[in-house]
Structures are given as structure tokens and as C-alpha cells.
């Protein structure tokens, strides 16, 4: 299987709102495998299908440490159904905004309804890095990037930097 490239800012597809998956079939399972392959190759801990140019509501996550065995998780049509009042701040990065990291404040805990790889309904209560990662990836499904949680000045600076790099790469 050829490695699929991860799309990078300023690619306009990153702003698309992804469509719900209506049936978990072979094409969705193939997409999941391609997502894990791209995510591990990057390397990253989370990926939304739109980052491969596929506007489908599919998220892959693996929070295993380097020396631990992989712990792949799949979230199809994930939806945050509850979040805590308490907030946590983590330094976030994004495979679609390479080598840029910034502190982002988000709810400390979330409950997420989703379908698993077999299409079975599930719910997870997440806290810590899993809560942050789920919120980051679900944002992607809604056309929101982590830089949208920053000040306008910081966001504009990042967008300008990546637009300039894209122009240089084209020219």
C-alpha cells in the first residue's frame, strides 16, 4: 500500500466539515489502515481522515509510548456529548501544521459517543492527553484547526508562514 501524504496548511480541504460515515465497510476499514500508516510514519498520535484529503468522520489515535506496543484506537462519527467545566492546558502540534507547537486550553474531560471499527456504538470517558487528542481530532472533522484556539495575531502569523512556504514550494 502506498503511503498517503498528509495535507498541510494552507490546503483549503483542512477547513471542510467531514461527512458522517453511513456504513462501516471495506472502504472505511482500508481508509483506517491508510490513516494509521500515515500517522505512524509521520510520526503522530492522532489523525483525522480529512488530513488525508478524505472528508469522512473517522479518527485514529495511538497514545502508546515509544517503547510500549502500539495501542491503536479508532473513532468513527465521534461526537462529544459532555465536557467538564475544568480546563487543562497542553502543548499541541498537528501533522498538518508541521513543527509548530502552542499551548491550548481545552476541557479536562470529555465523554465521546462513536462507532468502533466494526460499526458498534461505543462511549468513552476521556481525560488527560486522550481528552485533548479527541477534541483536537474532532475539531478537524468540523474544519477547525488547533491554531483557531490561539490569539488572532498568533494564528495569522502561522497561516502567513505556511502560505509563504507553499508559494515557495510551488514556484
Active site residues: 137
SS3 sequence, the chain?
CCCCCCCCCCCHHHHCCCECCCCCCHHHHHHHHHHHHHHHHCCCCEEEHHHHCCCECEEEECCCCCCCCCCCEEEEEEEEEEECCCEEEEEEEECCEEEEEEEEEEECEEEEEEECCCCCEEEEEEEHHHHHHHHHHHHHHCCCCHHHHCCHHHHHHHHHHHHHHHHHHHC
Structural contact between residues 114 and 76, judged by C-beta atoms closer than 8 angstroms: yes
Facing residues of 74 across strands?
A: 60
Amino acid at each position: 500500500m502506498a503511503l498517503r501524504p498528509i495535507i498541510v496548511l494552507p490546503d483549503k480541504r483542512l477547513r471542510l466539515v467531514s461527512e458522517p460515515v453511513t456504513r462501516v465497510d471495506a472502504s472505511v476499514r482500508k481508509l483506517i489502515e491508510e490513516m494509521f500508516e500515515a500517522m505512524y510514519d509521520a510520526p503522530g498520535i492522532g489523525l483525522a481522515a480529512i488530513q488525508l484529503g478524505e472528508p469522512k468522520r473517522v479518527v485514529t489515535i495511538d497514545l502508546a509510548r515509544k517503547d510500549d506496543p502500539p495501542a491503536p484506537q479508532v473513532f468513527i462519527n465521534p461526537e462529544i456529548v459532555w465536557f467538564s467545566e475544568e480546563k487543562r492546558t497542553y502543548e499541541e502540534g498537528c501533522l498538518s501544521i508541521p513543527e509548530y507547537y502552542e499551548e491550548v486550553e481545552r476541557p479536562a474531560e470529555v465523554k465521546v459517543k462513536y462507532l468502533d471499527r466494526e460499526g458498534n456504538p461505543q462511549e468513552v470517558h476521556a481525560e488527560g492527553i486522550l481528552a485533548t487528542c479527541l477534541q483536537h481530532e474532532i475539531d478537524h472533522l468540523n474544519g477547525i484547526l488547533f491554531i483557531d484556539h490561539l490569539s488572532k495575531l498568533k494564528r495569522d502569523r502561522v497561516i502567513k508562514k505556511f502560505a509563504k512556504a507553499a508559494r515557495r514550494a510551488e514556484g
